[in-house]
A and B are shown apart, each in its own frame.
Chain A
Amino acid sequence: MTGPQAPPALRLKRIYEVAPRDLERAGTVSTEVRRELLALGMSPEVVRRASVVCFEGEMNMVLYSEGGRIILLVKEDRVELLFSDRGPGIADVNLASQPGYSTAPDWARELGFGAGLGITNMEENSDLFKIRSRVGKGTVVRATILLGVPFF
C-alpha cells in the first residue's frame, strides 16, 4: 500500500462536563456513555470495560479535580475516552497509579471510593492508556479500547 492510511472514520463524539464535588451527579457521565455504546451495538465486554474506565475517571475528577470534561470518541476500530481537568495536577503520577495509594479524604471513602484503585482499574480495562499531569495545570488521561482485540 502506498501513502498514509486514512484515519479511522469517526462514528460518534460526545463531550461531557464534570463538575467538582458534585456527588449527586457523579457517575451520570458513565451511565450516558454506556447508553451511547449500547445504542451503537457494541459488545457487552466493550461496554463494560468502557463503563468501568469512565466511572473511575469520572469519580477521580469529581473527588479530586477542579472540574473538567470527558470526551467520548467512537471510531471504526476503537473507543476512546479522554479525560482532562483544570487542576490541581498530580505531583507523582507513578506513585498515584500504584494500587492502594490514595490521598482520599474520609468523605470520599465513605462513598465507597478512595481505596487507591482508580487509576489501576482504568489501566486494567484499557488496551492503550496514557496519563499526563502537571501540577498547577491539570491532568489528561487517554484510555483506548481496541475493538476486535482479545481481552484477558
Chain B
Amino acid sequence: MKLADLAQLLGAEFVTGAEYADREVTRAFAADLLSDVLAMVQEEGVLLITGMTTPQVVRVAEVMNMGAVLFVRGKYPTGATVEYAAGAGIPLLAASGDMYETCGVLYQAGLLPARRKGFRLDRPASPSRPPA
C-alpha cells in the first residue's frame, strides 16, 4: 500500500516526508512499547503504528529501517521529533482514529501484519489471518 493511499484511507496527514508519498509499505506493526518493536519486528520497511510521539520512536524506526511511522489517537509529534524524522528520511503521518480502529481499517484494506518473532501463546498451526 502506498503511503498516499494509506493517508487517504484514514484521512491522515503527512507531518513530514510527504515526498515519500509513493513509498510502499506491505506490512505493519502496532505498539506503544518500543521494546516490543525492537524485540519483535523482524523485517525492514514495516509501517509502525503508535501513540508514542517522542524522538525515540523515530530513532527506533530508523534503526529498524521502518517504512514510516503513523501516529494514532490524534497524537502529534513535537518539533524535535519531526525535525529528526525529516533529517533521517522517515515519513511521519498523523491520524485521528484510535489504534484499534486505524489498524482495523488498514487490515481490511489488505495491509498484513509484520512478520515477527514467536509469541508465548503462538500455536504451531495458528493461521496468520482469520478465516474469511
Q: In the complex the two chains form, is A48's CB within 8 Å of B64's CB?
A: yes
- A: interface residue count bin: 20 to 34
| Segment of B7-15, B20-28, B30-38, B108-116 in the binding face | B30-38
Count contacts on B: residues with CB < 8 A to the other chain: 22
Q: In the complex the two chains form, is A113's CB within 8 Å of B59's CB?
A: no
Whether A55 touches B38, Cβ cut-off 8 Å, given contacts A34-B63, A111-B56, is yes
Majority SS of interface residues in chain B? helix
Q: In the complex the two chains form, is A31's CB within 8 Å of B88's CB?
A: yes
Q: In the complex the two chains form, is A52's CB within 8 Å of B38's CB?
A: yes
Whether A112 touches B34, Cβ cut-off 8 Å, given contacts A31-B88, A44-B44, A121-B39, is yes
With beta carbons under 8 angstroms apart, the residue of B32, B35, B60, B65 that contacts A118 is B35
Give A56 Cβ to nearest chain B Cβ, in Å: 6
Q: Which B residues between 85 and 99 are near A, CB-CB below 8 angstroms? A: 88
Q: In the complex the two chains form, is A48's CB within 8 Å of B33's CB?
A: no
Majority SS of interface residues in chain A? helix
Give B83 Cβ to nearest chain A Cβ, in Å: 11
Which residues of chain A are within 8 angstroms of B32 by Cβ–Cβ distance?
Answer: 112
Mark contacts of B33-56 with chain A using CB atoms, 8 A cut-off: 1 yes-contact digit, 0 otherwise: 111101100001000001010111
Q: In the bound complex, what is the Cα–Cα distance between A111 and B52 (angstroms)?
A: 7
> Nearest 4 CB-CB pairs, A to B?
A27-B59, A51-B63, A112-B34, A117-B35
Given A48-B65, A56-B35, A117-B33: 20 more A-B contacts, CB < 8 Å: A24-B80, A26-B56, A30-B59, A31-B59, A34-B63, A44-B44, A48-B44, A51-B64, A52-B38, A52-B64, A54-B63, A111-B54, A112-B54, A112-B56, A113-B34, A117-B36, A118-B35, A120-B39, A121-B35, A124-B39
Of the A-B pairs whose beta carbons lie under 8 Å apart in the complex, a sample of 12, sorted by A's number, is A23-B54, A23-B55, A24-B55, A30-B63, A31-B59, A31-B62, A44-B65, A52-B39, A59-B56, A112-B50, A115-B33, A115-B36
